[in-house]
Structure 1
Amino acid sequence: MAGWRWLRRPTAALVGGVIGISPVTPAVAGPGPAPDLGQFYGQQVDWGPCPDPKAPARAQCGTVSVPKDYRRPGGTTLTLAVNRLPATGPGLKLGALAVNFGGPGISGVTELNGRTKDLAGLNRRYDLIGFDPRGVGRSSPVDCGDLSSITNPAELARACVRASGWLLPWVGTPDAARDLDVIRQAVGDDRLAYLGFSYGARLGAAYAHQFPARAGRIVLDGVPDPTLDDAGTALGQARAFQKALGDFAADCAAHDCPVPGGSGAEVLAGITEGAGRLGKGLMTDSGMLDHAGYLQALQNSLYSKDNWPYLRRALGDLLRNRDGDLMMQLAYPEEFGGQAVTGWPGQPQGNSQISKLAIDCRDTAERRTPKQVHALDAKFAAASKVFGADIEATLLACTGWPRGTESTRQVAAPDAPQMLTVGTTGDPATPYSGTGRMAKALRNGSRVLTYRGEGHGAYFAHSACVRKAVDGYLLEGALPREGAVC
C-alpha cells in the first residue's frame, strides 16, 4: 500500500506549509507574425493496431504531434496518444466524435476501450475518438520520478518540479484545448463534435471559447461552475457531498440498512460516528483502514448510485464483523482492481493522480497559506460535518507548484453554436447549480438538460431520457426544449 494516500483523492488533499520553490512560468511571446503551425495542422493519424491487449479488436491507435509551446512551434514537441472506434453503421456517417471522460488525469484512450457498450448508439454513426491529454497517460506524461519514499506534499512538489519542470507550465487546459483542435484536423473534420464529462466539460468550454468557428455539436455533462474560485468550488463540493451522503442514508434506511436507525437522519448520524469508532485504525487483509480511508470510501461511493449497494455491504461488514476489506476497496479501488467503484473519479490509471494535480494547479493562480485556509474552517464545518475538513484541505494542494492562470474560467463563446449542458440534481462533485451558470457564461444560448438523480454525471446513469436527449442532439442536431427535465 502506498505511503502517500493523501494524494489519492478525487480532489487531492495536500496539507502542508508553504514550500520555497521558485515558480516556473512560460515566457511571453513578443509582437510579431503569428507562429506557423502548418506542420501540426497538416497531419493525418496513421492508424494501426492498439498495444493494449484489453482493447477491442476493432480499435485503432495512433499519435498526434503538437508543440509544447504554441507560441514557439519550432521548439519541443509533445506526442499525444489517440485511439479510434470506427463507426459501425447503419446510417449516414457523421465524422468523428471526440470524447473526454474527465479527471483531469484519466486516460481517454484506456477509458474509451472500456466504454464501447455505453457509447454503442453514438458509435453507429460516429467514429469515436479517445485521447490522452498532454501530460496524461501515454501523452508526454508528467513524471515525478520515484515517489516510493515521498511522505509529504512538500517533497512531492519538489520532486515534480525537479523531474517535469520543463513540462508543468504547459499542461493547462487552454493548451489542451489547442491540442484538441489539432486532433480535430488530424482525423479529418472541419468542426469538432465533442462529448465531455466533468473535467471534459471544462475542456470543451475552453475549446468553444478559443475556437468558436470550429465548434460543432458539443455536449457537456457533469459541468464545473466557471464563476467560482477555488474556495467557492470546494465549499460547493462539501455541501454537495454532504447532501449526497444524506440521500444515501435515507435510501439505506428504507432498504434494511446495517447502520442502526429508523430514519435517514439517524442512519446519517451513525455513518458520521463510524469514523470515530475506528480509533487508530483497523487492520484488514488489505492494510490499515483509518479515518482518512473511511472518509475516502464514503466519498468515492457517492460518485455513482451503482456504488450504493457496495457501500451498504461495506458498512455492514465493518459494523457487524469489524471487517474493513470492502471499505478499503471502495477507498482505494486502483489497488484492488476497482471492481466495486464506478463512475467518476474512475479507476486511476498510470500517472492519473500526479497529472491531475499538475493540470489542476496549472489551471489556477490561487495559492493559499495554511493560515488563510484555516480562516475558512467555520464555513467548511457548516457545509459538511463529514467531508468539510477533508475538502477544505485541498485548498493547499497547489502549494509549491508553478504558478498557474485563471484563463480556464474564460468560457464566453458567443459565436459558437448552441451547446447542450447536462446537470444532475444530486451530483456531489460538480453541483447542479454550475450547469446553468456554465450555460449562461457561454453566452451562446446553450441549453440545460436537468437529470433528477444521484451521482456525478447523467449520461451513464441509466436514464433512457437523458440518453435519448443527448444522442438526439449529437446525431440529429435536435436540442431538447428549454427547461427539459429527465
Structure 2
Amino acid sequence: MRALRWPATVAILTLAGLSGFARPALATPVVTWAVCPEDAQVECGKMRVPADWKDPYGSSIELQMARRKATDPARRIGVLVVNPGGPGGSAVNMALDGDFFSPEVRKRFDIIGLDPRGVGRSAPVLCSQTLVDAKPSPLVGSAAGFAALADYNRRLAADCTARSGPVVRHADTGSVVRDVEALRTSLGEPKVSIFGASYGSLIGELYGDTYPGTTRAVVLDSVMDHSVDVDTFLTQETASVQDSFNEFVTWCARDARCVLRGRNIPQLWANLMVRARAGTLEDPYDPPAKLGEWELISAAFSAFYDPQWFSFAHYLEDAAYPGKASGRAAVPPIDITPNSFPAVFCGDWSLPVGDFTAYRKRIDALAKIAPQVRASPIALSAAAGCVGWPSPPATPQRRLAPAKMPMLLVNALHDPATGHAWAQQVAAQLGPSARLLTYQGWGHVAYSHSPCVKTAVERYLIDLTLPVPGATCPAVEPEPFGIG
C-alpha cells in the first residue's frame, strides 16, 4: 500500500505463436470505475489481469481498487499508489480512510489503493476455517511433529487452491508489481508515486527496481529487506522482537501508570511461559480457552506493534492472576476464511530450514538471542509455513540495484516486525539516491506514530525533498488506550 478517466487501448505486447503465426496482441487491462458504496467521494475500480503473467493468455483474475481523487485538480501531481502491508492488509480500505494522509497530500494526489492479488477484494485466497484453525505451532519438538507440519502445509495449499484457484500459486509480490504497472498503463500515467508500509514496502522496492523509468517517488515505511538468507531473516527478526520486549520492560519501570510497575516482569513472563508449556495458562480474555507458548509469544508480538504497552501490561496481570478479567462471548465458526499469508510469503521467500534436526537447531539458536520471546512469530511462521509448500517461490530474495530516483525510507528504532537493521541494509543497497529517516521511538509504521515523520514523508511526496543524511525524529511516548 491519481488518474485519467479513460484507459489506454494500445497494444503493449505481441507474442509470436507456434509455427511462425503471430498471436493476437495483448491489450492493456482496462479499469472500470463506479462510486464506492462505502464513500461517495471515492471511486471503486475493477481490472482483469492474467493469473500468471508468464501465461498472459491463460486464466485471469479480477483485481479491485479504490481511488480518492485529488481535491485540488489544478495542483494535482499525479497518482499515489498505497499499500498497508500484511501481507493481507487491504489497500482499498487504506484509500477509503480519508484521514490517513494530510489534506495537502489529498489535494495533490489521486490516492489509489490496489488490493494485491490474493488479498482483500482482489481474488482473495480463501481456505477452510477449520483447517486454518488447526495450524500447528512452529515450535515443533520432534521429527514426527516436523513431518506433520509439512503435511499440514501441503493440505492447506491444496485446500486453498481448490477454493481460490490459480491465484494461490501466483500471489507473489513480483506479480503484484506487474499488476501495478498494468494499472499505471491503463490510467495513462507517465509515472506513479508509491507509499508502501510494512510488507507494502516490498511492492515499492520491487516496483522502483523493475520500472525505474515510470517511478516518480517511493516511500518505504517499516522496511522489508528482501535480500537476507533464512538464518539472517530469522535472527534479525527475532532480535527485533526481543528488543521490543526489553523496551516494554524499561517503559514499565519508568511509567507509574504501568500496572506491573515494580514487579519482576521477566520472572512473571517466565512463570507464564511455564504454565503455557504445561497447558494450564488460561486466556484471560477468552476463558476457559488455554494459551500455549506460541499464542503467548504472539500476543506479545501483536502488542508491540503500536505499541499497546498499557493494555499488554493489563493482559499479563490478568493472565498471571486469573479471575479478574471478564470473558468474551465465543465467536461462531465460519466455513471459510481469508488466508493469504502463506501463499504470499512462500511466493516471495526461499527459506530452506532443512530437516528436523537443522530446524530445531535454528529454533534453539534463536532462543539464545531472545530468552523471553524465543522467536519472531512472523518470521518463524513464515519459515515453518513454507515447509512442504508445493510451489517454489516465484520472486525469491535478491539485492536491489542502486535507486535511479530519490527514495525515502523511514523506520522506528524499536520496530518488532521490520527491525531498524533492515532499513539500514536496504538503504545501503539503494545507494546515495535513497535516504533513511529514523524514528527514535517504538512500534510499526512510523508514519502513524510521529508527526515529525509524517511531515518529512509528505514534504518528500509533494516536492521530492529528502531529509538530510542521518536525520532522525524524536520518540513520542505512547498513551494508554485499548484497555479492558
- TM-score between both structures, scaled by the size of structure 1: 0.80
Distance 2:20 2:414 in 1: 50
Q: Offset of 1:275 from its aligned partner?
A: 3.1
Contact 2:411/2:423, CA 8 A, preserved across alignment: yes
Q: Following the alignment from structure 1 to structure 2, what is the Cα–Cα distance between the partners of residues 30 and 386?
A: 61
Structure 2 match to 1:474: 461
- Aligned with residue 458 of structure 1, among 443, 446, 449: 446
Superposition deviation, residue 364 in structure 1: 2.1
Residue number in structure 2 paired with 1:365:
350
Which of 58, 65, 70 pairs up with 1:75? 58
The counterpart of 2:36, out of the listed 31, 34, 50, is 50
Answer yes or no: is the 8 Å Cα contact 1:365–1:403 preserved in 2: no
Residue 297 (structure 2) pairs with residue 299 (structure 1): no
Task: Measure how far apart 1:177 and its partner are.
Answer: 0.4
Task: Select the residue among 245, 269, 276 that pairs with 1:271.
Answer: 269
Conserved in 1, the CA contact under 8 Å of 2:80 and 2:193? yes
Q: What residue number does 2:95 align with? A: 112
Asked if 1:374 corresponds to 2:360, the answer is yes
Which residue identity is paired with 1:219? Answer: V
**Pairwise CA distance, 1:319:** 3.7
Counterpart AA for 1:276 = V
What is the CA–CA distance in structure 2 between the aligned matches of 1:101 and 1:33, rounded to whole Å? 44
Residues 83 and 113 of structure 2 are in contact (CA less than 8 Å); yes or no, is this contact kept in structure 1? yes
Aligned to 2:166: 166
Instruction: Give how far 1:183 is off.
Output: 1.4
Task: Tell me if 1:136 matches 2:119.
Answer: yes
Structure 1 146/318 Cα, relative in aligned 2: closer, same or farther at 3 Å? closer
Q: Deviations over 1:437-481 (max 9, x none)?
A: 1122234621111111101121001x2211111001101111111
Superposed, which structure 2 residues align to 1:310-321 within 5 Å? 310-321=311-322
- Structure 2 counterpart of 1:432, one-letter code: H
Displacement after TM superposition at 1:40 (Å): 2.3
More deviation, 469-478/65-74: 65-74
Could you say if the C-alpha distance between residues 137 and 450 of structure 1 is closer, same or farther in structure 2, counting changes exceeding 3 Å?
same
Indicate if the aligned counterparts of 2:132 and 2:156 stay in contact, CA closer than 8 A. Answer: no
Q: 2:67 & 2:132 partners in 1: Cα distance?
A: 38
C-alpha contact (below 8 Å) 1:66/1:77 kept by paired residues:
yes
Worse overlay, 397-406 or 233-242: 397-406
**Partner letter of residue 274 of structure 1?**
L
Q: Where does 1:155-234 land on structure 2 (aligned, <5 Å)?
A: 155-164=155-164, 166-234=166-234
Instruction: Please give the secondary structure, in 1, of the residue aligned with 2:169.
Output: helix
- Give the alignment partner of residue 373 of structure 2, picking from 360, 366, 387: 387
The offset of 1:317, in angstroms, is 3.2
Letter of the structure 2 residue corresponding to residue 430 of structure 1? T
Report if aligned partners of 2:305, 2:444 keep a CA contact under 8 Å in 1.
yes
* Alignment-mate amino acid for residue 485 of structure 1: T
Q: Does 1:249 align with 2:249?
A: yes
Secondary structure at 1:376 match in 2: helix
Question: Is the partner of 1:459 in helix, strand or coil?
Answer: helix
Structure 1 residues 173 and 283, CA gap change in structure 2 (3 angstroms): closer
Q: How far does residue 187 in structure 1 lie from its aligned partner after superposition? A: 3.1
Closer, same or farther: CA 101–318 of 1 in aligned 2, 3 Å: same
What is the Cα deviation at residue 97 of structure 1? 0.6
Structure 1: any 5+ residue segments left out of the alignment?
A: 1-28, 337-349
Are the aligned partners of 1:96 and 1:193 in contact in 2 as well (CA < 8 Å)?
A: yes
Q: Which amino acid aligns with 1:387?
A: V
CA-to-partner distance for each residue in 1:227-256, whole Å, 9 max, x for gaps? Answer: 312332122121111111111111112223
Question: How far, CA to CA, are the matches of 1:96 and 1:33 in structure 2?
Answer: 39
Contact 1:448 1:483 in 2 (8 A): yes
Query: Which residue matches 2:260?
Result: 259
- In the other structure, the counterpart of 1:399 is 387
Deviation of the 1:205 alpha carbon = 0.8
Opposite residue 184 of structure 2, the aligned amino acid is R
Give how far 1:397 is off. Answer: 1.1
More strand by share: 2
What residue identity is the alignment partner of 1:358? A
**Amino acid aligned to 1:202:** L
The answer on whether the counterparts of 1:365 and 1:406 sit within 8 Å (CA) in structure 2 is no
Change in CA separation of 1:170 and 1:267 when aligned onto 2, cut-off 3 Å: same
How far residue 173 of structure 1 moved from its aligned partner, in angstroms, is 0.8
The verdict on how the C-alpha distance between 1:422 and 1:181 changes in structure 2, with shifts beyond 3 A counting, is same
2:398 pairs with 1:410: yes
1:271 aligned partner, one-letter code: W
Could you say if the C-alpha distance between residues 376 and 415 of structure 1 is closer, same or farther in structure 2, counting changes exceeding 3 Å?
closer
Distance 1:198 1:30 in 2: 43
Q: Distance in 2 between matches of 1:32 and 1:454?
A: 60
Take 2:261 and 2:271, find their aligned partners in 1: how far apart are those partners? 11
Whether the aligned pair in 2 keeps the contact of 1:424 and 1:452 (CA below 8 Å) is yes
Q: Residue 102 of structure 1 corresponds to which residue in structure 2?
A: 85
Change (3 A) 1:406 1:33: farther
Q: CA 1:250–1:46 in structure 2 vs 1: closer, same or farther (change >3 Å)?
A: same
SS of corresponding position for 2:439: strand
CA distance in 2, matches of 1:50, 1:407: 33
Q: Cα RMSD (Å) of the superposition?
A: 3.1
TM-superposed CA distance for 1:320, in Å, is: 4.6
Residue 59 of structure 1: SS of its match in structure 2?
Answer: strand
Is 1:448 the counterpart of 2:436? The answer is yes
Letter in 1 for 2:267: A
Q: Which amino acid aligns with 1:313?
A: H
Task: Tell me which residue corresponds to 1:85.
Answer: 68
SS in structure 2 of the partner of residue 253 of structure 1: helix
Match of 1:275, SS state, is helix
Alignment length, in residue pairs? 429
Structure (1 or 2) with the larger CA radius of gyration: 2
SS of match in other structure, 1:65: strand
Distance in 2 (alpha carbons) for counterparts of 1:169 and 1:233 = 23
